[in-house]
Amino acid sequence: MPDITLVTRDGARLGFACEQNENVLDAAAAAGLFLPAMCREGSCGLCHAHVADGAYEMGSYAKGALSDADQAGVLLCRCQPREDLVIDLPYPQADVKRHAIISREVVIEALAPAGAGAMAVTVVYAPHSDLGQAADFVPGQYMELAIPGTDIRRAYSMSNLPNWDGRLEFLIRMQKDGAFSTYLADRAKIGDVLIARGPLGTFVLDETSSRPRCLIGGGCGFAPVLSMLRHLADFQDTQPTHLILGANREDELFPAGELDVLRAALPHMGVTLSVWRPDGDWQGFTGTAADAFEQYLESCPETPDVYVCGPPRMLEAVKAVAQERSIPPERIISERIL
Ligand SMILES: Cc1cc2nc3c(=O)[nH]c(=O)nc-3n(C[C@H](O)[C@H](O)[C@H](O)COP(=O)(O)OP(=O)(O)OC[C@H]3O[C@@H](n4cnc5c(N)ncnc54)[C@H](O)[C@@H]3O)c2cc1C
Ligand code: FES
């Protein structure tokens, strides 16, 4: 049976065996190593990694789950070994959990259009005698929500703050013909019970750092950034912070009302709204979020910590700008949203 060695970003080596007809993700879980993953069917892209050595076979996967440019890239839920493999993981050892993540029931409390083709969805934990009621998470994290009556799960980042009431708020952009989007548009109603798994993810603020922060959100990547900014506002944070929100078109930017509240609470915060292809009389920055980031760096006196959340192409573009400017990779904290 092939031996698999996983090498985490911080250099830890984790070994286990994997049958040739088994995928690496399942074999890792059987060995007590729970790796970041969600759909387990090659569509979310969360289990992506790089094979440094060894032969393998990849099962089918959805277009976009893996970048075409990423030659050594694999999805661990689709990767079966043909010999011993050494696999580089794009995250530190702390992200490899040693216990299964908690799943529990949540009830839909509110559903409302949020502009920019998105729905604001609020769920609340159903009472549980052992788990308590608090929604305990770190701003920037996400939950997996399952469509009622199915095993179909999707990741959504919380946009609110941790709270004692067990309330989780999401901003969910509707995708044409998408499974969860169709459930929300056609069937979801207040009182529906869903299974939520989490909290998950390490896209969180490094509060020990005194460097300036640049937070970049593309599309629905605004949700975790909003949670982070609400947290900073709550603590009346005074560290230099710059927010870049990117969208393809003006009407895809999230509503200005939310931003006005944050601007008032964080008066030192700079904001760039960047639109790649504005339709009409656009007064803001024209270009991609990566272009706006480049412009911001020109005026930033010190190398910042960079938090970037959005689709893979946006992440790659921002990371390329950061690399050109010699920003160390460990200062870039990213969340990839397919
Ligand atoms: C960590 C993380 C956090 C996230 N946070 C958020 C968030 O806060 N807000 C948010 O809106 N999203 C977020 N996402 C994205 C979210 O998880 C879903 O991917 C997104 O909502 C689409 O789900 P869906 O079920 O509606 O669409 P899916 O069913 O996944 O489909 C996506 C698209 O692919 C198309 N498609 C599906 N199947 C096929 C097929 N067989 N052939 C061709 N096309 C197909 C659909 O038509 C649709 O347009 C996050 C993702 C991750 C990984
Ligand atoms: S868990 Fe592998 S692509 Fe989703």
Confidence of residue 72 (pLDDT cuts 50, 70, 90): confident
For helices 222-234 and 256-265, angle between their N-to-C axes, nearest 10 degrees: 30
- Cα separation values, 271 from 203, 228, 243, 282, Å: 20, 15, 5, 15
**Ligand 2 pocket check: which of 23, 66, 75 to mutate, most ligand atoms within 8 Å of Cβ?**
75
Domain boundaries, the chain: 3-95, 103-200, 213-336
* CATH topology for the 3-95 domain: Ubiquitin-like (UB roll) (3.10.20)
Residue 154 CA to ligand 1 center (angstroms) comes to 7
pTM of the model: 0.84
Cβ pair 206, 152 in contact under 8 A: no
- Whether residue 259 has its Cβ less than 6 Å from ligand 2: no
Q: Superfamily for 103-200?
A: Translation factors (2.40.30.10)
Partners of 215 in the β-ladder: 243, 307
Q: Model confidence over 217-255: pLDDT tens digits?
A: 988 889 999 999 999 999 999 899 999 999 988 888 876
For the chain, the residue count is 338
The dihedral over CA atoms of 25, 29, 34, 38, expressed in degrees to the nearest 10, equals 50
Q: Model confidence over 110-148: pLDDT tens digits?
A: 999 988 789 999 999 999 888 889 999 999 999 999 999
With left for phi above 0 and alpha for psi between -120 and 50, is residue 252 left, alpha or beta? alpha
**213-336: CATH number:** 3.40.50.80
Domains 3-95 and 213-336 share a fold: no
Residue 156 CA to ligand 1 center (angstroms) comes to 10
Share of the chain above pLDDT 70, in %: 98
For residue 199, cis peptide bond before it (omega within 30 degrees of 0): yes
Task: Concatenate the DSSP letters of all residues of 200-241 into one string.
Answer: E------TT--S-EEEEEEGGGHHHHHHHHHHHHHTT--S-E
